Structures are given as C-alpha cells and as structure tokens.
Structure 1
Amino acid sequence: MPESHPVFADPGFESRHGVLARGYGHREDPEDPSAVLAMPLVLHIPKGEPPARSALLEAAAVATVALCLDPRVGKGEDGQPGVWRDAFLSWNDARIRKVSRRARGAHWRAAQDIDGVTVDRGGAQARAFVPGPVGGLDPRIARLQIGGTDLPDDDPREIPDGVPVLWVNAALGMTVGKAAAQVGHASMLLAGALDADSARAWAATGFRCAVRDAGRDRWSGLLARVGDGTAVPVRDAGFTEVEPGSVTVIATAS
C-alpha cells in the first residue's frame, strides 16, 4: 500500500516552508552532466487498466509538494538534520529539474523501497523520490522508461470549491511524463508562494488540488492573473518538448 503523507502539524513546518518560499536556482549547474541534480518521479501506469490522466497528474503534483515539505527534509526537534535534508537542499538550491518515468507490476513495487513519497489519487499513483545526481540513479529507477506511454485526455469532475487548481497549457500538447514534471513544479512553487499558515492549512488537507487543461481563452485569463500577481506560473527551461521560456502550468490557490 502507498505510504500516507503526514499532516504537517509539527513545529518544523515553518522552517521547511521557508526553503520553498525563498525560491530556487541559487547556483549554476555543475559542468559534469552526470552530476546535475534532479528529482525522479515514477508514474504507475498499469498496462491493463491505466489511470485517468488528470488523476495521475494530481498524484504527481501532490507527491512532489509532500516530499518538499516532509519532516525528513528539515530538522528534527533535536536540531539534527533529517535524513533527506542535505540532498533536498542541494537540489533546491540549483534548478528544480524533475524527470518522470513510468512503471508497472514488479518494477512499481520495487520503486516503493527507494526513499520517497507515494500518493494515490482516485486509484492513480505516483511516487516522488529524494533528488540526486542524474548519473547516480538507483538502478531500480534508471531502468524505467522515460517515454513510450501516454494517456488520453479525460473528462474529470467539476473542481471542488476552494481547491487549488494547476492549469496545464493545453496548446503545448505535453506528454503525460512532461506534464507530470510541470505540475510537480507548480505544486511546490504554489506552496512557496503561500504564506506559512496557508501552506500549513493546505498540507492539512493532504495538499488536495485539481489538475485541469486550459484552452486558449482560459489560458489568456490565467496569464492576466499571473500579471496581477494572483497566480503562479511555471516557465520551462526548454530542455525537452517545449520551447525555452514556455509557460507550461499556471497554479491558482482557488
């Protein structure tokens, strides 16, 4: 069974939130490409009964922000660093790269033994792992395929009142793997943009959110909200699939 994320009522939450609030990208990438840091994401996509795309993207978004605010990336009550803290801070101080892979069956089960957080949303499951060098991936993750499988658009239910929404730029036609990485970016950027009390309240819901595609007209309105500071954009570096500087996802708190 997937592990459940904690309800962040501990005194270290504010400090962990402060790391997200101060942003990322404070240092350049290393010259050695294998030393570049990334957070792996693994999407559970069974062959016979694949999950709904929107639910899988929600699971990826929640798993990402849950790991970013997990007590193990902070300091304990004794002041000692959590077991994931150094790896997480090194990654967050660089560019917040994520790489999505897919798994099923025994490979998915094996992935649960690697440090990370698994989230289930309506039967769709995703696991975010502690970041590390791309050249030093655990073989159980490295053997998983990055591409080769996509999911059709679905028709999710109406958005519940008061739930943050991660709007995906439908015009870009991103694969599910690319979109998973982008909504993962969006969830952690949104958490950092919230004040600590609001972020704590969101955490107490299990980071409940909705992922939806935005067509041209809605996207135009969302860009206007970015301009007036009421929405949080994800601008992609353009390493895969999209042009550098593309706005891939826009997050709204409600």
Structure 2
Amino acid sequence: MHADPEGEAPWAMQLVARVERRAPPTRTAVCAAAAGAVVRLLADERAQPGGEWYPRVRRWTDGAIRKHCRRARGVAWERVAALPGVTVSEAGAEVRALVPTALDALPREVAVLQLSGSELDDPDASAAVDPVPGGAVVVSVAPEPFLPLGKAAAACGHAAQLTALRMPAGRLAAWSGAGFPVVVEHPDTTRWARLRLLAGVEVVDAGFTVVAPGTTTALARWA
C-alpha cells in the first residue's frame, strides 16, 4: 500500500457518465458501463508496464483505490471524451473512465463537472440475475443503504476491478475476449444476504464518502 507523503493529495480514477437532458440513460445502464470502462482501462496495453499510462495507474493502485463518478452533457462531454481514457457504451449509457490523477491536478474539464445530481429512472432494473458459464460478470448493488448514482457506479467499477484480479486466468481470458461484459442486478435484502455467502468479490467501502467505513456496497459473481 502506498503511503502518501504528508500534504500530498490523494489520487482517484474519474468516471464520467454522459447524461443528456433529452435522452438520459438508466441507472443500471450507467452502472454497467462504469464497470466495463474501469476494467477495460486497466486491461488496456497503455496501462500495462511500459505503457504511457502505467506510472499513473500504478501510483493509483499502490494507494487507496478511489473512484469518483461525475456527469457531463453536450460540449462538456465532448471535452471529456478527448482526455486520456476509455469509453464504454451499454444499453444507451456512455461512461468514460479517465486515467487516474491526483485530486489537486484534475483537468479543468473534469473539475467543473457535477459529482452529484438527480437520480436516473430505472424501469428495467433486474432484482435477480444469475451468472452463466463463460458469460457476463454479475454485479449486485447493495439494497441498503441506498447508494446515490455516483456511488453505485463507482462501486460497480470497483467490483469489476477486483473481479479481474481474482478470476482464474482462463476465465479472465474468456471475459476479456468477450469485451468484459457486466450485468447489474439490484437484489432485495433477503437475496443480498444469501449472495454475500456466494460472491467471489465483495466490495467493502473505505468510507471516504456517503457510507460508513466497512459498508459492503457491491458483490460480483461469475460462472
């Protein structure tokens, strides 16, 4: 674990969701796109040893893993899309994961974006999804406490990141070959309690924002 020198700003990966006024995405689609964007950025050859992004990715992964999810539309989205990172589209949602940076060195195009806002509709949210062999990773969002959109998207991104670290090599190769698909479910409290006993990944929040330290915010499963 990286020990930040006293006075050094923490680092974070910024996730930017495209939320246009006329055709906003659903909450679940944003969460799934965020998860895919995180893992695709980390798997990108530019994020690997010797790649141009590697020093920044390594600095971030050596410290506390922070992710912040912001919103953009119109010209603001176009400006963010020009910054180093990876964009994933999922069911009408677009999320760009940006190469991590220190919080006191955020590009202005990112720093001006909202970290919070009104919640998105979620008419097609699934309460129960089970993984199929060789298929998408299923990420479950905690039913309690309620996670605002940005927190939920960041939790899904972290679940995908941990999944890539813990999957057996052969299964990871298959997931990568398929483009790192992710399906997001929103279980009730009864199902959530059962899934916590089965999940290969449990995201335990450090408590920097929104929830108390030690809160489980997401789970991930695969077959």
Partner-residue secondary structure (3-state), 2:117: coil
How do residues 102-251 of structure 1 correspond to structure 2 at under 5 angstroms?
A: 102-156=71-125, 159=129, 161=132, 162-226=135-199, 231-251=200-220
Task: Give TM-score scaled by structure 1 length.
Answer: 0.82
Q: Is the contact between residue 29 and residue 95 of structure 1 (CA under 8 Å) also seen in structure 2?
A: no
The corresponding residue for 2:61 is 92
- Measured in 2, the distance between the counterparts of 1:180 and 1:27 equals 25
Partner-residue secondary structure (3-state), 1:202: helix
Amino acid at match of 1:27: H
RMSD over equivalenced CA pairs, Å? 1.5
- Measured in 2, the distance between the counterparts of 1:154 and 1:165 equals 19
Amino acid at match of 1:163: A
Tell whether 2:17 aligns with 1:27.
no
Q: How many residues align?
A: 219
Q: 2:23 aligns with which of 40, 43, 49?
A: 49
Amino acid at match of 2:102: P
The corresponding residue for 1:4 is none
Per the TM alignment, residue 152 of structure 1 is displaced from its structure 2 partner at its CA by 2.7
Per the TM alignment, residue 201 of structure 1 is displaced from its structure 2 partner at its CA by 1.1
Amino acid at match of 1:215: D
Task: Give TM-score scaled by structure 2 length.
Answer: 0.93
- Measured in 2, the distance between the counterparts of 1:196 and 1:203 equals 10
**Structure 1 portions without partners, runs of 5+:** 1-25, 76-80
Sequence identity percentage: 39
- Measured in 2, the distance between the counterparts of 1:117 and 1:30 equals 30
The corresponding residue for 1:67 is 41
